[in-house]
Every structure is written in C-alpha cells, then in structure tokens.
Structure 1
C-alpha cells in the first residue's frame, strides 16, 4: 500500500509524476489542502472537512479545472478511472468539460433557438422583431432540424434548408442563414459544439442575383388626388386620419401607429419620437403643419383623448400595419404606405430647391459618411419645418415658395 509523504509538498511535484499516490485510509483522514494522486487528480479537503475530487488538465492549450464529485459519492477507484478517461480525451484534442455538459442534456435546435431569442430580446427595439426572428426559423429550419440536438446539426442539414430558397427568395434565405448561424454560435459558446457549419456554406451556395423591388409608390403629382377620396369616403375614421398624418409628416408607418400623446407638443407643433421607436435608434423631432395638428384634434375627439395612443382601433389598441394597407386597396390606390415617403422624396428633389441634407433629415435617414456625421450637430429643424409646410401646401393645391427657407 502506498503511503502519503509525511510533509505536504507545495506546487508541482518534482521528479517523476505521481501515480496512485493516495490510499483509501488517507482519503478519509487527510488534512485540509490539495493532495495529488496522479493524472492531474487531486483530493481537495476544505477546512470544514468537506472532501471532493478535482482534476487539473490542459484542454486545447488552456489550463482548466474539473470537479469530479464528492468523496462520499465517488470512490478513489472511480475518481482515478474518470481522471484517466478525461486525460486521454484531452490528449486527443477533445474537451472533457464539453462532454460533461453533454451528459447534462443537450437542447434541440428549436430549444436552443428559443433561448437565443430570449437572450437577445432585451436588445431589440420591438417584440415584433423577436416574433419575426423566431418565425423565420419555424418556417424554414425547424421542419428539418428543429428536433435535432444542436450539437448534431451538420453543414448538410443547413445546405438542405437554404438550397431551395437561396436563389428564389434571396433576402429570406439570407435571414435564415444569419439566424441559424446565430443559434449555432450560441451552442459553441455553451461548449455543445466546436464549429459552425454555416461559415463554409456561402461558396457552395454561390452568389445571389437579387432583383431589387422597391415599395410601390405614387408619382408625387398623384398624391393629393389619392388623399381626397380616402378623406371623403371615410371622413373622421381613425384609419383615414392616421394615413393622412403619415403622408403629411413623411414618417414611417410604424412610427405613426405607435405615436402616443406624450410625444406630441401641439402648442409648439412638434412631434418628438423617442430613440427606442426609431429605426435609426436616434430621437427625431418632426415639425407638424397646420393640417397635421387638425388631424390630432380629430383623433382626440374619437376616443375622448383618454387612450395614451393617438391612433387606436375600436378596441382601444394601436392600429396594425395591415389595416392601412387594406384602406389603400379599398380605394384602388396603387401604392403601399411606405411608398409615400418615396413620393415626398421625389417631390422635394423635383419641385423644390431645399438642400439634400434637409430632405434626408426630414426622412430620418442616417448620415452614412462618418466624418460628416461626426461634425453635424444640428437636426435642421427650422428648415425642415419650412419644407413640411411646403409639402402640406402642395398637397392642398396651394402655391408656396419652393425655396430652401431661412438659413439656420
């Protein structure tokens, strides 16, 4: 029977590596400290008397420490056997820690996707984005790999998912690729797999040749004629008010549908959209023309102004995007809500002398040139008010000075 040294050694043992140095009686009576047995196995005795097994290994170039369990549950012989198995796996390039996690239960790809969505949700601007993110995988990825362990998803699986849509539904295919890749990256971070098969698929799938399809929009000369029948046919209805307000402000549909009264300063004629609701992630001040203020008064009378949301449906909830689309189809308007921003942009370029940067600021577009963006500290608000008043006058059939307005 091997007996332990009388004096405890500190640091790495000198000379030959220890092998089966400990004994069962010593395990039961060892003083506090760490006692080496061999193959990186140590008996760890705490001052409280608690005894457990740990193993020190170099795994893929990094020093790691693994817990092998309590002495009460794991015998010396069992600890030695596990330590030898772990060491062989590490020498072969494997990861005993990952293996340990696998034994704890690997989630399926669908379960992993749900956890990824929950982890990312707080950083997304809206709940709708989280639903769309997950829905994309539900439709295209889950039928093939939803029930497959996230560690077992292969490049062949992902290739089978992407091939049918890569050249026919280019944007959707890119979203699927990006989101499958994100789930597998999370699995790598959790040590459930060592590689991401999405990283080597693009050369196999080949280049995409998307045909750019712009939002359907009306020529700016036809916008006033489109507003009139909508206003006459559904006078005073919330859909009509929201639609005209969107056209007058050149705002995005989601920004209008989510508008709340606390954002509106009707005395000053300013609508301040917080950064959390903007696509750009930056606060936007929108100048309100006289007709836009009239629309707000009409919206307030519909529900008595008791709802915090400006444009609400019959159940007191914000309008959904489909409702405005249905309104346009009902009146035979060959455009989508977002297309009216394009109509506004064309009008500003063709019919006015307003500088490009003023028009782009009215559309809440981000300055792409980093140097220019760093030096531009103004939002050109007063010049934008002049621009939006001119747009309102144009839609009303009035003649208005098309110039750039007063200098800032």
Structure 2
C-alpha cells in the first residue's frame, strides 16, 4: 500500500536540511531556519522530472498538496507540468509577448554586438518589412510555422536574401522568447522553410562602373560641393562609404590615413584599423574639404553630423547612371587585375580584404602597406588622367 501525507505542519520548521517525502511525488526540501521549497517528482514518457511548487512558509502543506494533486492529474493526461507552468507564466505576460515587442527586446539585447549599436535599426529591418505588418500584434505563442511561411512567401521568391535574413532574425527572437519564459517552439523556424521550398539563389551584385569609364566620370565632379568631394575621395581610395562620411583630420598623419576600427567592416571586436596611402590628388581633395569642416567632420551634413548615408547614392542617381558608390571598389579591384601584375593577396588588401583563414592569419600579420603604396598611386594617376 502506498503511504502518503507523511509530513505534519508542525514539524516542517524543525526538519533537517534535505528532501523529505510526503508521498505521491511531493517532497519538502528543507533549507534550514524554518524555510524550504516544495518539489514534485514525476515520470512522463519514461523520463523523470522535478518541478518546484513554491517556497515555504509562503506555501503551506495544504496548498502544496493541492498543487501536487493538480500536477498529478496533468501527468495522468500526458501533460508536462513544467511546460504548463511556463505557458501560464507567458500568458500572464501576454501584453509583452507580442512578436513586435519581442523583436524590439531581442534587438536591444543584441545592440552591443552590432556595429555602432545599430542606430538605424538595420538588424530588424527585414522583419519590419516582411513579418511585423502581418504578425506584429500577435502573441508569439499563437504563431506557428505556417503563419511564418505565409508572411515570407513573397520575400522568399522575390528577394531571397531578405527572406533569409528574416528567418535568421526570427531564430534569435524565438531563442530570446524561450529564454524569457515563453513556451515557443524554436523548430518552427526550420519548419517554416518546408512549405517555402528551396530559396532561389540571389546573384545580384552592386551596380558598378567599368574601370575604363572612371576617369571621365571623375573629371565631371567639382571642387566645391561636399558630396562631390566625398565621392572623389571614395573613388581615389577604394574605401566604403562609412569611413568617408566619418573622416576627421586626426585620422590623417602625413600621407597616411588610418581608418578607425569602428568604421572598418567586420564584426564588433574583430575589425582592425586600416592604413591607407594617400596620393597628391587625395590630399588635394582633403585640403579642399577643410573649408567645410564642422564638428570635426570633413564631410558634414547640414546639421554638423556625418554626411548622410544616402548622399553619395543620391548624387550618382542625379547623373542618371545605374552605378553606385560601392561599385567603385569593384572598379578598382578589376583594374588591378586587368592592368597590373599584382598578386591576388595584395590586390585584395588594396580594398581592405585580408586572409579569412584564422590559422594563416595568425602567422601572416602584414597589411601589405608598402606593396599597396605604388598600386594606389598608379590608380590615382589613372583616375585623374581625363582631368583637365
């Protein structure tokens, strides 16, 4: 015969430290000083589990037995009391459990790992475009794989890269939600891919100007406008837009520009400063830009901050050409391959690409600066060859 109700209310405060069985899976874990924890042991589908039922003396013996009885009934019905408790907790927090709220909280938790703290909210952009308009106000626990697949159908077909980024973001959101007590199934992200089917491979590259057309275009840029000067320096150096926009005089020493690591592409903590040789034309452009300096920025916007992210793209659109500022990096790299005999690793270094293999990188610690100098000087001479 099974024995239960072994414990007495008056003895709970004096029990020795450790677990004491009341029967039928209910245990009192004495912690000393008249305190303890109620625990329930159960077996479901052949696996043993333990779950807490509350602390003593806040929860008395009678209440603990009632909670244990409810847990036993759940187990008898094939339900896991641990998951049920997690689900109830999440339901009480439903106002903070909408997908939109959890996306924002996840994003905020990741900002320290994102470039510059992601001030423009680039990380969550795919979700704000494709998912939140339809599911933003829905509690995450009410969303299933089919809901996610339906939201992403259009992006999966028309902008596959954006669809991929959306799923990656959702994966982090679901992990965050699970870690904060929401009863979500992280595998829903993988399940959503099944009805979507194979993702079409995106082969789009940034529109670039052919290197043979660069000198003529460069000669059309003036010596006055901030955006024209910024674009000229971008073409001459082969840099991305970000370091151009944030250029400050203290970054330049003589004819060497050291781009700070926060403006070098790469994961936080992995990017390194990048040294760049400056030729006479680049130095002349910087000298022209000094008259525009404001709050330390050589290329400021109208509010004294760094030049707007879209400024150079807008400028090139005004010329009615499809090429984009980033495409000049491709022009430089192609020119090096077709017009010089430069080794690939040096050519890649000219546009800030270095060995990705961690082992090789640990031993080969050069940035090929000395070898890059003559190449960049020749590129500058070529770029200004059509300038009157």
Report matched runs for 1:309-324 at 5 Å: 309-324=297-312
Determine the structure 2 residue equivalent to 1:337: 325
Q: In the superposition, relative to structure 1, how do residues 243 and 92 fare at CA in structure 2: closer, same or farther (>3 Å)?
A: farther
From 113, 116, 141, the counterpart of 1:123: 113
**Is 2:359 aligned against 1:385?**
no
Q: In the superposition, relative to structure 1, how do residues 21 and 365 fare at CA in structure 2: closer, same or farther (>3 Å)?
A: same
- How far the C-alpha of 1:278 sits from its partner, in A, is 1.7
* C-alpha distance in 2 between matches for 1:368 and 1:44: 54
Q: Deviations over 1:353-395 (max 9, x none)?
A: 2222211001112434556444422111011111111111111
Q: Deviations over 1:267-288 (max 9, x none)?
A: 2x22222333222323321111
TM-score, normalising length: structure 2: 0.86
**Is 2:261 aligned against 1:278?**
no
* C-alpha distance in 1 between matches for 2:295 and 2:371: 32
Q: Which moved more, 1:218-227 or 1:368-377?
A: 368-377
Q: Deviations over 1:105-146 (max 9, x none)?
A: 241222221121111111111344761222321221123322
Give the number of equivalent residue pairs: 374
Q: In the superposition, relative to structure 1, how do residues 203 and 37 fare at CA in structure 2: closer, same or farther (>3 Å)?
A: same
Determine the structure 1 residue equivalent to 2:200: 209
* C-alpha distance in 1 between matches for 2:221 and 2:103: 44
Determine the structure 2 residue equivalent to 1:200: 191
Report matched runs for 1:326-405 at 5 Å: 326-369=314-357, 372-397=360-385
Compute the RMSD of aligned alpha carbons: 2.7
Q: In the superposition, relative to structure 1, how do residues 226 and 260 fare at CA in structure 2: closer, same or farther (>3 Å)?
A: same
Contact 1:217 1:342 in 2 (8 A): yes
**Is 2:62 aligned against 1:80?**
no
- How far the C-alpha of 1:226 sits from its partner, in A, is 0.9
- How far the C-alpha of 1:161 sits from its partner, in A, is 0.8
Structure 2: runs of 5 or more not aligned: none
**Is 2:170 aligned against 1:180?**
yes
Q: Which structure has the higher relative contact order (CA within 8 Å, separation 6+)?
A: 2
* C-alpha distance in 2 between matches for 1:251 and 1:25: 77
Equivalent position SS for 2:124: helix
Determine the structure 2 residue equivalent to 1:9: none
- How far the C-alpha of 1:195 sits from its partner, in A, is 4.0
TM-score, normalising length: structure 1: 0.82
Q: In the superposition, relative to structure 1, how do residues 317 and 129 fare at CA in structure 2: closer, same or farther (>3 Å)?
A: closer
* C-alpha distance in 2 between matches for 1:169 and 1:374: 37
From 217, 227, 245, the counterpart of 2:233: 245
* C-alpha distance in 1 between matches for 2:379 and 2:127: 42
Structure 1: runs of 5 or more not aligned: 1-15, 399-408
Which has more radius of gyration?
1
